[in-house]
Amino acid sequence: MKVLLVYFSGCGYTFWTAQKLATLLKAQGHTVSGVLDIEKYAPAEQERSERHIFLTPTYFFAPPALFVKALHKIPMVADKEAVVIATKGGQQGLTTVYTRSLLTSRGYKVIGTADLTLPDTFIGLKSSQLTSAQRVARLKKAEDELKALCKKIVGTEPFSCDRSRAYSFIALPFLWVFRHAFGLSFISTDACTHCGLCEKNCPMHCIHLKDGRPVWKHNCTACFRCVNACPAHAIDMSAVSWILGACGAVIGWIFVRWFFGWLGAFLSAFVGLVGLAYGCVAGVAVGQKIYRKVAQTPLFANRNRIACENIKKG
């Protein structure tokens, strides 16, 4: 069978997965017509393969914004078979459900979805920190799971790891808030050497240099490539931003509920979620500005970064 692998990778582990999968499929006698970065996806490759395998990391229980945007632009196909693989550090949430829906809208027939647990590149939580031995063990286990998954990928039986769509009522509001707030809370500390590597490597092009220091826009997809790849470990997040973000969320919730109280308790509470979301984003944005002026309070300055040696060069 001829297969095409299409991936997006923030810090390199999904790219690692695509490479391993290509090697395993070739060893089983299948033809891999390409291992393509979704950012450089070539429509001409569609006709050269019988089945397309889409690999995406999971950021805040959903596929990255760049991956979603790229799928919207893929040319329509006629019942081309596809498989979705979501890599994750914890829960994959709606990643496979969302990706399946996007591919179906482009004419694909998704025959299977699977998820794969890899080392977490999100260093915002101490619980995501792994030792080198734990990281190697997780990669070894993932490779073993890929060997078993190969048979399903080229098989005829459907398979699925999709979560219930009801999960979206919880995940999507959470996703919206963090997708818009995360970029605004990134900071560069005094350790910054003004090398510009973060601006060059950002897949969302949401970093620009101001007076030699990086500044983030709101369209960050939270891949943590800039944080993990910074040679000076100078990229962090502002504790001030998140404290004010939490305060803004509470104020936004209370104000909107009070303002729309005439709708009734249930509806005003539902609308209050909008106030909570916008309040959080506004608080984080204000915190970013305060940090630049007075409050040098990073969140995870002493936590280990994850080596990005698997990022595709060039």
pLDDT digit string (tens) for 91-115? 888 889 989 999 999 999 999 999 9
> What is the average pLDDT across 116-137?
78
Q: Give the least confident one: 152-156, 201-205, 267-271.
A: 267-271
Alpha helices by DSSP H, the chain: 13-27, 65-73, 95-105, 132-153, 168-185, 197-201, 225-229, 239-259, 265-293
Structure confidence at residue 301 as a pLDDT band (50, 70, 90): confident
Q: How far apart are CA 29 and CA 164, in angstroms?
A: 36
How do strand 207-210 and strand 213-216 relate by DSSP bridges? Answer: antiparallel
Q: Give the least confident one: 52-56, 136-140, 171-175, 224-228.
A: 171-175
SS3 190: coil
The whole-number pLDDT of residue 18 equals 93
Instruction: Give pTM, 2 decimals.
Output: 0.81
The whole-number pLDDT of residue 93 equals 81
pLDDT digit string (tens) for 132-153? 788 888 889 999 999 989 989 9
pLDDT digit string (tens) for 27-44? 999 999 888 888 776 555
* Of 253 and 210, the one with more pLDDT: 210
Q: What is the DSSP letter of 80?
A: -
Structure confidence at residue 238 as a pLDDT band (50, 70, 90): confident
User: Please, what is the average pLDDT of the chain?
Assistant: 83
Question: Looking at the predicted structure, is the pLDDT value of residue 65 above 60?
Answer: yes
What is the distance in angstroms between the CA of the first residue and the CA of the last residue of the chain? 29
The whole-number pLDDT of residue 167 equals 62
Q: Which amino acid is at 54?
A: F
List domains and CATH numbers for the chain.
Answer: 2-167 (3.40.50.360), 168-293 (3.30.70.20)
SS3 209: strand
SS3 291: helix
Q: Give the least confident one: 162-166, 225-229, 248-252.
A: 162-166
Question: Looking at the predicted structure, is the pLDDT value of residue 276 above 90?
Answer: no
Q: Do residues 40 and 70 lie in contact, with contact meaning Cβ atoms separated by under 8 Å?
A: no
Q: What is the DSSP letter of 306?
A: P
CB atoms within 10 A of CB 11: 27
- Residue 221: which of 272, 257, 186 has the closest Cα? 186
The whole-number pLDDT of residue 314 equals 34
> What is the average pLDDT across 188-198?
88
- Residue 314: which of 66, 110, 33, 40 has the closest Cα? 40
The whole-number pLDDT of residue 259 equals 84
Q: How far apart are CA 68 and CA 62, in angstroms?
A: 9
Residue 119 vs residues 2, 5, 272, 283, 305: alpha-carbon distances, Å: 30, 21, 36, 31, 12
What dihedral angle (degrees, nearest 10) is formed by the CA atoms of 86, 88, 91, 96? -10
Give the angle subtended at the CA of 161 by the CAs of 159 and 167, to the nearest 5°.
140
Question: Looking at the predicted structure, is the pLDDT value of residue 75 above 70?
Answer: yes
Q: Which amino acid is at 225?
A: R
Q: How far apart are CA 26 and CA 9, in angstroms?
A: 22
Structure confidence at residue 313 as a pLDDT band (50, 70, 90): very low
The whole-number pLDDT of residue 5 equals 92
Q: What percent of the chain has pLDDT over 90?
A: 24
Question: Looking at the predicted structure, is the pLDDT value of residue 174 above 80?
Answer: no
Provide CB contacts within 8 A for 200, sequence distance 6+: none
* Of 282 and 242, the one with more pLDDT: 282
